[in-house]
């Protein structure tokens, strides 16, 4: 592993702002063929693609629509307060720090009535960081890929799935890809729903170099998290709490973090509300 922090626009952001889990696989359960959701949440910090873009409270808002299996998801992140320590660009209060669009198609193989044994989601994802100066961070954040989740019928019960995903950058010159592999669980203890996930992320050298200036082919981050959802008094409205922990598995990256005074692990917390159409 080598580090070229003086030449790459994102290098300081990644080494000084802490590197965490990739976004190469969607851990939220997708339902179809039709679906509609709107959510708003507050997080203790904003991170994506391994970078903590805002080390302070940030809002995250999402709109998801799906019809006949075809889905589109729009995401946005806006800082609540300012973060003068953010690199390479400082963040002002109420400044939008990320916009994302994801287009996918949900394929399901049934295990039982209403219960899929296999879910496959080919997708396109485009990402923009509006407060960052023009660079490869903004210009080249377009990916095509596939997520897959399998529920082994031999387990004899529902809600335990294994899978992952891989994304390839559409820029042929970069030849970069990112991915994750792991498991997720969905449990019900009425009126509460519990969702858990355990992931290990990875990426090739071109991916790390383009995003961070780091030359590495190593496995990235261990990401373990959960989400607790409960109904509100109004029909189709829900409240939830999310907690996840991350830890760097790459020894060279841990050394780099220590040298720059950055923790090798941390905890991310979010609280939110969601409208979910029951007539899907």
List pLDDT tens digits, range 171-181. Answer: 777 778 889 99
Look at residue 216 in the predicted model and tell me its pLDDT. Answer: 56
Token representation of residue 73:
């998801």
Read off the pLDDT of each residue in 172-196 and give the average, rounded to a whole number.
89
Q: Is the pLDDT of residue 16 over 80?
A: no
What pLDDT does 52 receive?
A: 77
Q: Can you give the pTM of this predicted structure?
A: 0.84
Give the least confident one: 81-85, 91-95, 138-142.
Answer: 138-142
Mean confidence (pLDDT) of the chain: 82
Q: What is the mean pLDDT of residues 218-231?
A: 89
Nearest to 178 by CA among 50, 25, 11, 24: 24
For the chain, give the number of residues. 280
Can you give the pLDDT at residue 171?
A: 78
Which phi and psi (to 5°) does residue 93 adopt? -60, 140
Alpha-carbon span 91 to 257, nearest angstrom: 22
Contact 82, 91 (CB under 8 A): yes
Q: What is the pLDDT of residue 238?
A: 97
Please give the residue that has the higher pLDDT: either 42 or 158: 42
CA R_g for the chain = 19
Q: Mean pLDDT lowest for which of 10-19, 69-78, 162-171?
A: 10-19
- Whether 208 contacts 5, CB under 8 Å: no
**Separation of alpha carbons 217 and 111, rounded Å:** 37
pLDDT, position 255:
79
**Nearest alpha-carbon partner for 116 in 29, 28, 226:** 29
183 within 8 A of 198, measured Cβ to Cβ: yes
Q: Is the pLDDT of residue 75 over 80?
A: yes
Give the pLDDT of residue 85: 73
The tokens for 1 are 């592993």
Determine the Cα–Cα distance for residues 127 and 136; give it in Å rounded to an integer.
11
In sequence order, the β-bridge partners of residue 54 are: 46
Looking at per-residue confidence, does 217 or 15 come out higher? 217
**Pairing outcome for strands 160-169 and 177-189:** antiparallel
pLDDT (mean) for 163-167:
95
- Between CA 8 and CA 4 the distance in angstroms is 7
Between vectors from CA 134 to CA 133 and to CA 135, what angle results, nearest 5°? 110
For the chain, where are the E strands, in sequence order? 2-3, 35-43, 46-48, 51-54, 58-67, 70-79, 96-105, 107-112, 115-128, 142-150, 160-169, 177-189, 192-203, 214-215, 219-231, 237-248, 265-276
Task: Name all domains of the chain by residue range, CATH numbers in brackets.
Answer: 2-276 (2.40.160.40)
Q: How far apart are CA 30 and CA 62, in angstroms?
A: 14
Output the pLDDT for position 12: 34
Cα–Cα distance list, 274 to 45, 47, 213, 239, 271 (Å): 20, 21, 37, 6, 10
Cα 65 from Cα 74, distance rounded (Å): 9
- Out of 11-20, 58-67, 243-252, 258-267, give the one with best mean pLDDT: 58-67
Who has greater pLDDT, 159 or 76?
A: 76
pLDDT tens-digit readout, 17-54: 333 344 568 888 888 899 999 999 999 998 776 677 88
What is the pLDDT averaged over residues 53-70? 94
What is the model's pLDDT at position 21? 40
Average pLDDT over every residue of 193-216: 78
Answer yes or no: is pLDDT of 213 > 60. Answer: no
| pLDDT score recorded for residue 139 | 67
pLDDT tens per residue across span 95-106 = 998 999 999 999
């Amino acid at each position: 592993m080598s580090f070229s922090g003086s030449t790459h626009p994102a290098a300081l952001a990644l080494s000084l702002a802490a590197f965490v889990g990739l976004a190469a696989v969607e851990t939220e359960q997708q339902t179809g063929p039709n679906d509609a959701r709107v959510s708003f949440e507050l997080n203790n910090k904003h991170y994506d693609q391994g970078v903590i873009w805002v080390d302070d409270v940030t809002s995250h808002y999402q709109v998801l629509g799906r019809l006949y299996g075809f889905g589109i998801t729009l995401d946005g992140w806006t800082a609540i307060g300012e973060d003068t320590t953010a690199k390479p660009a400082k963040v002002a209060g109420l400044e939008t720090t990320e916009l994302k669009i994801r287009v996918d198609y949900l394929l399901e193989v049934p295990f039982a009535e209403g219960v899929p044994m296999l879910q496959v989601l080919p997708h396109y994802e485009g990402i923009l960081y509006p407060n960052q100066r023009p660079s490869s961070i903004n210009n080249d954040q377009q990916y095509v890929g596939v997520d897959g989740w399998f529920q082994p019928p031999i387990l004899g019960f529902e809600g335990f799935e294994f899978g992952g995903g891989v994304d390839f950058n559409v820029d042929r010159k970069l030849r970069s890809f990112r991915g994750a592999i792991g498991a997720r669980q969905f449990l019900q203890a009425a009126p509460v729903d519990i969702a858990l996930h355990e992931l290990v992320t990875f990426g090739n050298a071109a991916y790390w170099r383009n995003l961070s200036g780091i030359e590495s082919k190593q496995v990235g981050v261990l990401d373990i998290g959960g989400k607790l959802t409960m109904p509100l008094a109004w029909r189709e409205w829900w409240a939830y709490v999310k907690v996840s922990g991350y830890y760097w598995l790459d020894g060279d990256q841990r050394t780099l973090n220590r040298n720059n005074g950055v923790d090798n692990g941390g905890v991310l917390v979010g609280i939110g509300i969601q409208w979910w159409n029951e007539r899907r």
